[in-house]
Amino acid sequence: MSDRTATAVAGDSAVDATIAAYIESWNETDPGRRQAAVARAWAASGRYRDPVMVSDSHAGIDAMPALSEAEGLAGVQARFPGFVLKRTSKVDSHNGSVRFAWSLGPASGPAVVEGVDFATLAADGRLEQVVGFIDRMAQG
């Protein structure tokens, strides 16, 4: 892929706005505002999968059960108070697919988890599916 093509697709403001709403949904502690961010980011039939959590639909994503214990976006915030999810790479997108790297950790400290999300967009530009991969997780 040429640099010109990579820059053009990576700068899609609609995709960037969708990913910004996705990141916002992970960081928002107010339930109403978090659910609004989920609705902005996700198609109603959205599906989320990573090694420890799986869920479907807006309500399911907000209350996303972990594979090993009940968690969800609210549960992640309760388990890791003061932690924030940050996008750590540009957003790459083409043909309805998206990828970006992220980290989770204290707002002013080092990340304790890092990974990459791969997403598929619905026809309206919201997330249809996100599959997350954890690249590094601090032990302890």
Q: State which residues of the chain have pLDDT below 70.
A: 1-11, 63-72, 140
pLDDT tens digit string along 2-33? 333 333 344 479 999 999 999 999 999 888 99
Q: Can you give the pLDDT at residue 31?
A: 86
Q: Which pLDDT value is given to residue 63?
A: 67
Which pLDDT score, from 0 to 100, does residue 54 have?
82
Prediction pTM value:
0.83
What gap in Å lies between CA 31 and CA 51, rounded to an integer? Answer: 24
Pairing, β 83-87 against β 54-56: unpaired
Three-class HEC string of the chain: CCHHHHHHHHCCHHHHHHHHHHHHHHHCCCHHHHHHHHHHHEEEEEEEECCCEEEECHHHHHCCEECCCECHHHHHHHHCCCEEEEECCCCEEECCEEEEEEEEEECCCCCCEEEEEEEEECCCCCEEEEEEEEEEECCC
List of domains in the chain: 3-137 (3.10.450.50)
